[in-house]
């Protein structure tokens, strides 16, 4: 149950957001250029792999951060730096007292978090492909190996802020793919002609809101 103060604040913010929805398109034009930081309360980082052709096994990381240099007038010049705590892996595997799958996927056959506890992603440009779409051209460093990993991204909108949410805010959805074998994780990849194992291909799914420059009442 929420404490009463937290519940009141949540309801008040929700009401303010609802009142502002009708002006979202106009607000997008007022999003200021500047440095934005990830809002961890409104962000998720998931990955999926094909398990024997039967299902897409999905897991997530719970500790990660990012900074974004963003100018809506020049989105192609955006710069992004992100870090992921690889030890924050959550698989939601049942009965961890019998098999700790979180720990298993952190051994030296997989993420090897004892040696490489952090992942990094850096991007210095975006190829704009549509009014609200683009491809982030960045490099992922994982297990000490750095490889290009492009992300297809959609800009979901933003606004310059308001009195109850006193900073600019922007939101994105992103999707990418990589081969885990490129980063030294080839354990369990199915042999040619077989599907017994876990796919080399890894799908990455990201939802992210970023908070930026302070709201100025006379901005609009």
Pull the structure tokens for residue 202: 């890894």
Question: What is the CA angle 101-203-71, rounded to 5?
Answer: 120
Portion of the chain with pLDDT greater than 90, in percent: 81
- 184-193 contact pairs (CB < 8 A, 24+): 184/112, 184/143, 184/145, 185/109, 185/110, 185/111, 185/143, 187/109, 187/110, 190/52
Domains of the chain: 4-214 (2.40.128.110)
Banded model confidence at residue 94, pLDDT cuts 50, 70, 90: very high
CA separation, residue 125 to residues 73, 81, 111 (Å): 14, 11, 28
CA–CA distance, 34 with 143 (Å, rounded to integer):
32
End-to-end CA distance of the chain: 38
pLDDT in tens, 145-187: 999 999 999 999 999 998 888 999 999 999 999 999 999 999 9
- pLDDT (0 to 100) of residue 28: 58
CA–CA distance, 171 with 37 (Å, rounded to integer):
11
CA–CA distance, 171 with 28 (Å, rounded to integer):
11
Pull the structure tokens for residue 63: 């500790």
Q: Who wins on pLDDT, 73 or 27?
A: 73
pLDDT in tens, 47-93: 999 999 999 999 999 999 999 999 999 999 999 999 999 999 999 99
Banded model confidence at residue 125, pLDDT cuts 50, 70, 90: very high
CA 55 to chain centre: 22
């Amino acid at each position: 149950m929420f404490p009463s103060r937290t519940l009141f604040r949540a309801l008040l913010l929700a009401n303010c957001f609802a009142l502002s929805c009708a002006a979202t398109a106009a607000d997008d034009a007022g999003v200021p250029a500047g440095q934005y930081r990830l809002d961890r309360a409104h962000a998720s980082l998931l990955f999926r792999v094909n398990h024997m052709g039967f299902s897409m096994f999905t897991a997530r990381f719970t500790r990660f951060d990012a900074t974004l240099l963003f100018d809506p007038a020049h989105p192609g010049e955006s710069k992004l730096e992100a870090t992921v705590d690889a030890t924050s892996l959550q698989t939601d595997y049942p009965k961890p007292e019998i098999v700790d799958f979180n720990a298993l996927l952190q051994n030296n056959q997989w993420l090897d978090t004892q040696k490489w506890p952090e992942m990094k992603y850096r991007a210095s440009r975006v190829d704009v492909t549509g009014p609200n779409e683009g491809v982030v051209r960045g490099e992922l460093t994982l297990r000490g190996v750095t490889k290009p990993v492009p992300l297809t991204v959609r800009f979901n909108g933003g606004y310059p802020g308001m009195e109850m949410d006193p900073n600019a805010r922007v939101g994105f959805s992103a999707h990418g793919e990589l081969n885990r074998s490129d980063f030294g994780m080839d354990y369990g990849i199915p042999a040619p002609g077989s599907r017994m194992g876990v796919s080399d291909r890894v799908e990455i799914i990201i939802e992210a809101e970023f908070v930026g420059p302070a709201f100025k009442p006379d901005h609009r």
